[in-house]
């Protein structure tokens, strides 16, 4: 049954109070759901630091945001390419210099449906490298600042975690065998969810309550995700879908991540938040269905160890 915590319309930004003094760091905020999340937060006077890979697109996004919310709106960007670990290290250093508090780190950026197998500079399959390993390292490097701020970590996942293998292919993390655009994407999003749920466990084991970790997804939202990295066929299918009620706007797609970063009434962390309407792909935002393979303890704790080795960073909690 659909979650009714926030009434029949679900969670909407109408619930969001003034955010003056609060700072949010959002990856991939020059487009799509990340951009819309930045808009909603800026409208309520938050400070927003976007972590984007394109200087040109970031400058254009900032110009648009300043036009909408005024020259004094507090929006800036730090360049990061999440597919390059050195870039993540440099960006984290920059963020620590310029952002004294982080009330929310929204792990929003992603590539999806990459048609042919590619490896990142660090030698990882591109979707796993960008979506999971890049964020895993970034969160580790920013964690203490988030903790000092009693902040939140938000992972933007995907219902794709229910597709593909539904577990981690530890014997072939880079898909030397059997690569499929959707299978590899699904696994990268499952890995991101497992990072979040394992982090919840590790925080609980350390007796820490200073950081909350939430997982959400935008449902099916009309963003540039498929246009950026999908094949021509996928782009066409997606374009057709966006003409139907099966796909909602990018702005609606941003509500779950803004809710997870800000909503005080949200207390249940071992959950998946997102649209609760048709197939949980559109509709009022609340708590959705979370299937147990996303928090399979043996798999997620092993993935944590594998990830620490891969990015050469050990978390201390």
Ligand X SMILES: NC(=O)c1ccc[n+]([C@@H]2O[C@H](COP(=O)([O-])OP(=O)(O)OC[C@H]3O[C@@H](n4cnc5c(N)ncnc54)[C@H](OP(=O)(O)O)[C@@H]3O)[C@@H](O)[C@H]2O)c1
Report, as residue numbers or ranges, the catalytic residues: 185
User: Least distance in Å: CB of 160 to ligand X?
Assistant: 6
CA distance 169 to 124: 13
Q: Pick out residues in 230-269 that bind ligand X (CB under 6 A).
A: 253
Tokens of 219: 């449902």
Tell me: does residue 126 bind ligand X (CB under 6 A).
no
C-alpha torsion angle, residues 177, 194, 297, 289 (rounded to 10): -110
Q: Select from 23-31, 95-103, 206-214, 294-302 the region that touches ligand X (CB under 6 A).
A: 23-31
Q: Which of 200, 221, 269, 276 binds ligand X (CB under 6 A)?
A: 221
Binding residues for ligand X, rule CB under 6 A, total: 32
Q: Select from 70-78, 103-111, 143-151, 258-266 the region that touches ligand X (CB under 6 A).
A: 103-111
Tell me: does residue 76 bind ligand X (CB under 6 A).
no
Tell me: does residue 120 bind ligand X (CB under 6 A).
no
Tell me: does residue 19 bind ligand X (CB under 6 A).
no
Q: How far is CA 70 from CA 33, 64, 74, 144, in A?
A: 21, 10, 9, 32
Q: Which of 122, 111, 117, 124 is nearest to 173 (CA)?
A: 124
Q: Which of 83, 186, 187, 307 binds ligand X (CB under 6 A)?
A: 83
Tell me: does residue 46 bind ligand X (CB under 6 A).
no
Q: Which of 49, 82, 168, 285 binds ligand X (CB under 6 A)?
A: 82
Tell me: does residue 81 bind ligand X (CB under 6 A).
yes
User: Least distance in Å: CB of 108 to ligand X?
Assistant: 5
Compute the Cα dihedral for 84, 86, 91, 92 and give only its sign: positive
The answer to whether 117 touches 231, Cβ cutoff 8 Å, is: no
Tell me: does residue 224 bind ligand X (CB under 6 A).
yes
Q: Which of 13, 34, 230, 256 binds ligand X (CB under 6 A)?
A: 34
Q: Which of 5, 12, 45, 54 binds ligand X (CB under 6 A)?
A: 54
Residues that bind ligand X (CB under 6 A): 27-28, 30-34, 52-54, 57, 80-83, 108-112, 130, 156, 158, 217-218, 220-221, 223-225, 228, 253
């Amino acid at each position: 049954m659909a979650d009714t915590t926030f009434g029949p319309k679900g969670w909407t930004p109408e619930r969001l109070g003034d955010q003056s003094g609060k700072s949010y760091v959002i990856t991939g905020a020059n487009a799509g759901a990340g951009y819309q999340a930045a808009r909603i937060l800026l409208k309520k006077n938050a400070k927003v630091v976007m972590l984007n890979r394109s200087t040109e697109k970031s400058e254009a996004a900032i110009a648009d945001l300043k036009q909408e919310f005024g020259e004094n709106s507090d929006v800036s960007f730090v360049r990061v390419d999440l597919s390059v670990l050195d870039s993540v290290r440099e960006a984290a250093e920059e963020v620590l210099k310029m952002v004294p508090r982080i009330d929310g780190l929204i792990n929003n950026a992603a590539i999806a449906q990459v048609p042919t197998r590619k490896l990142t500079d660090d030698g990882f399959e591109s979707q796993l490298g960008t979506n999971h390993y890049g964020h895993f390292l970034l969160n580790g490097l920013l964690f203490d600042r988030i903790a000092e701020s009693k902040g939140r970590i938000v992972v933007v996942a995907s219902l794709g975690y229910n597709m593909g293998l539904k577990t981690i292919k530890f014997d072939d993390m880079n898909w030397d065998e059997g690569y499929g655009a959707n299978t590899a994407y699904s696994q990268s999003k499952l890995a991101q969810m497992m990072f979040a749920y394992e982090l919840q466990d590790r925080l609980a084991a350390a007796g820490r309550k200073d950081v909350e970790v939430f997982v959400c997804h935008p449902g099916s939202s009309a963003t540039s995700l498929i246009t950026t990295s999908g094949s021509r066929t996928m782009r066409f299918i997606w374009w057709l879908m966006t003409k139907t009620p099966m796909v909602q706007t990018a702005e609606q797609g941003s509500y779950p991540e803004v809710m997870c970063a800000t909503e005080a009434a949200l207390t249940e962390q071992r959950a998946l938040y997102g649209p609760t309407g048709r197939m949980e792909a559109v509709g009022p935002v609340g708590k959705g269905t979370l299937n147990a393979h996303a928090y399979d303890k043996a798999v997620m704790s092993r993935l944590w160890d594998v990830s620490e080795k891969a990015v050469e960073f050990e978390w201390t909690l």
